[in-house]
Amino acid sequence: MKVSGVAPDTTPKNFMNIKNCRTLITGGSKGIGFAIAETMRMMGAKIAITGRDQNLLNKAARTLGVIPIVSDVRNELDCEDAVKKTLEELGGLDVLVNNAGVSHYSSVESMQTKHFENVWTTNVVGSMVMTREVIPTFKKQKRGAIVNIGSTAALRGYENASAYVATKFALRGMTQCWQEELRRYNIRIFLVNPSEVQTNFGKKTGPKRLFPNKLYPQDIAHAVVSCLAMENRSFVPEIVIYATNPW
């Protein structure tokens, strides 16, 4: 049998091309959401970001060169409108990143229902509604990816964090449900669980002092892009990110 000496082309044909990837990122005006938008934009993706603060959102959008959509994930109509505008502005949608989130820390005996409900509505209900709204598009095109930004708080509770931890446990559970429901439609669902990331999350004061060995938002963005760039026939159900040596 004659051997040509030329190796067969085994290059995968089903990689998600980040270039021109149409992506909607909630909570994209700062922190992890901003870093994901920045990283994907540098790779040529077409991005829309949402946020509640119009001034901050517009500033981020100008810096990144992306589409700003003022939207509050706690408001169901806002979620529906954000997806509709994204489809119109980007001409379709390939990726949804459920990043918007808030925290509230209190002992259970001091917990006020309004604070608990605010965290729950933002972190859980908002992610559910955004996901619900993109599914018809993803099913129709027989592909799509959803990235849920969770937390290591989804793995273990800690003191005074009932509201936040409960939502991240719930998001983890919903992610697993969606994976079972949507895999048959070639829709990939990723859960990314960062440990402590150096952002202004949960802070009303100025930016934190950065520690070189702790996680940066760009580390989470790298993990997200790495998951998305995998060949479409495979996906990572869950990834947990810790700093190697944070001390």
Residue 23, SS3 per DSSP:
strand
At position 155, the amino acid (one-letter code) is L
Is position 5 within any domain?
no
Is position 63 within any domain?
yes
pLDDT band, very low/low/confident/very high, at 1 (cuts 50, 70, 90): very low
Give the residue-averaged pLDDT of 49-54.
98
Is position 7 within any domain?
no
pLDDT band, very low/low/confident/very high, at 8 (cuts 50, 70, 90): very low
Domain count, the chain: 1
Is position 8 within any domain?
no
At position 164, the amino acid (one-letter code) is Y
Is position 9 within any domain?
no
- Specify the pTM: 0.91
Look up residue 65 and give its two tokens: 């060169």
- Domain range for 127: 22-201+210-241
pLDDT band, very low/low/confident/very high, at 209 (cuts 50, 70, 90): low
pLDDT at 15 over 90: no
145-164: b (≥16 Cβ within 10 Å) or e: bbbbbbbbbbeeeeeebbbb
Give the residue-averaged pLDDT of 147-172.
97
pLDDT computed for residue 108 by the predictor: 97
Is position 126 within any domain?
yes
Is position 247 within any domain?
no
What CATH code is carried by the domain that includes residue 64?
A: 3.40.50.720
pLDDT computed for residue 5 by the predictor: 45
